């Protein structure tokens, strides 16, 4: 029977579960607490059975989640804007909600793109070194 790596499964699964929770909550527009536990269990199990590639799998999951943050923030901004427009009573309030939503969504997406890009690059580098197979020297 293969061994299971518990530390990457618990610690790395927690980090990946939190990233998945943030993405799903942004896509849904409301907090989705089930996503945290589902991500923790699924990513933790996937990392735990990965043996020496366990942390590489966690970094890969975090890399994908980081690069998906700008798209999720666009969906969150569109959801918030549509809620504001639907609750407006006059056409002037609707126009203000649309303009404010466009400014807010653009700002949020730009910030998340900046943060997501740099975190994604860092996690991609970590995933590369965590998933690659070491080369053996000819003397071995």
Tens-level pLDDT at each residue, the chain (140 residues): 578 888 888 999 999 999 999 999 999 988 899 999 999 999 999 888 877 888 889 999 999 999 999 999 999 999 999 999 999 889 999 999 999 999 999 999 999 999 999 999 999 999 999 888 776 656 65
What distance in Å separates the CA atoms of residue 41 and residue 114, rounded to the nearest whole number? 29
Short-list 19, 21, 20, 15, CA closest to 33: 21
- What is the pTM assigned to this prediction? 0.83
Q: Are 119 and 70 in contact (CB under 8 A)?
A: no
Token pair 């404010």: residue: 100
């Amino acid at each position: 029977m293969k061994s299971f790596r518990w530390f990457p499964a618990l610690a790395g699964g927690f980090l990946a579960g939190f990233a998945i929770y943030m993405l799903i909550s942004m896509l849904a527009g409301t907090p989705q607490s089930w996503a945290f536990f589902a991500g923790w269990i699924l990513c933790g199990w996937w990392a735990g059975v990965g043996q020496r590639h366990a942390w590489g799998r966690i970094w890969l999951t975090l890399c994908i989640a980081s690069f998906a943050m700008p798209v999720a923030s666009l969906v969150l901004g569109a959801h918030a804007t549509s809620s504001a427009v639907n609750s407006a009573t006059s056409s002037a309030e609707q126009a203000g909600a649309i303009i404010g939503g466009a400014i807010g969504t653009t700002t949020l997406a730009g910030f998340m793109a900046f943060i997501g890009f740099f975190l994604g690059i860092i996690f991609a580098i970590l995933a590369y070194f965590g998933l690659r197979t070491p080369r053996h020297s000819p003397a071995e």
